[in-house]
Structure 1
Amino acid sequence: MRSDISATDAVRHFSELLNNIKYRGDRYTIIRGGKPAAALVPVDEAGSLRRMGDLNGIFQTLPHLEPDDINFADDVLESIKAQPPLPGDAAWV
């Protein structure tokens, strides 16, 4: 279960929150000053969370485009534009 909880209530019921997270898999968003400030999640999910500092390393692991592939997005866009318009009011909005 995912729930929002104020920072004050999180402090008051911290032990109960930990039990709910560990044994029931609950997730909590801690609200401070009316805005989300932190999240409490089970430890097995925490390992999959990423930080902004990890972003450069993530980009380095992505495949790089070959010179022949660089214009692929332009080719796709041209193909889309070349399609005939949809009849009548069938346009998707």
Structure 2
Amino acid sequence: MPSKLTASAARQNFSDILNRAAYGGERVVVHRGKKPVAAVVPIEDLDLIERLEDELDVKAALKALKEPGAIPWETIKKKLRL
């Protein structure tokens, strides 16, 4: 479970939060009032999120290519004057 800090506490302890994420693998959620607004996570977590997003994008693109009525790339290039 991630640690929780207010935005003020996060600002005052930013260096410590970075170290906790970078070296301790800890996730820290920053709140404004009761609402979570940001998170500091280890870079490995961000890399994983980005790889998962890329994989989802590829799956969506492959699905779109299979749909009937797809517009050929050459047609798009002509319309966009590429």
- Tell me if both proteins adopt one fold, taking TM over 0.5 as the criterion: yes
SS at match of 2:49: coil
User: What is aligned with 2:35?
Assistant: 35
Structure 1 residue 57 displacement after superposition: 2.7
The structure, 1 or 2, with the larger RCO (C-alpha pairs under 8 Å, 6+ apart) is 2
User: What is aligned with 1:60?
Assistant: 61
Instruction: State which structure, 1 or 2, has the greater radius of gyration over its C-alpha atoms.
Output: 1
Q: TM-score, normalised by structure 2?
A: 0.60
Structure 1 residue 37 displacement after superposition: 0.2
Closer, same or farther: CA 60–27 of 1 in aligned 2, 3 Å? same
CA separation in 2, counterparts of 1:39 and 1:61?
32
Query: Of Structure 1 and Structure 2, which has the larger fraction of its residues in helix?
Result: 2
CA separation in 2, counterparts of 1:7 and 1:61?
41
Runs (4+) of structure 1 moved beyond 2 Å?
none
Unaligned runs of at least 5 residues, structure 2: 67-82
CA separation in 1, counterparts of 2:6 and 2:62?
38
SS at match of 1:26: coil
Structure 1 residue 17 displacement after superposition: 0.7
Say whether 1:11 aligns with 2:11.
Answer: yes
Closer, same or farther: CA 11–25 of 1 in aligned 2, 3 Å? same
Q: TM-score, normalised by structure 1?
A: 0.54
CA separation in 2, counterparts of 1:45 and 1:61?
26
What's the RMSD between the two structures over aligned residues? 2.9
Alignment of 1:75-90 (within 5 A): none
Q: Amino acid of the residue matched to residue 43 of structure 1?
A: I
Q: Amino acid of the residue matched to residue 5 of structure 2?
A: I
CA separation in 1, counterparts of 2:13 and 2:48?
26
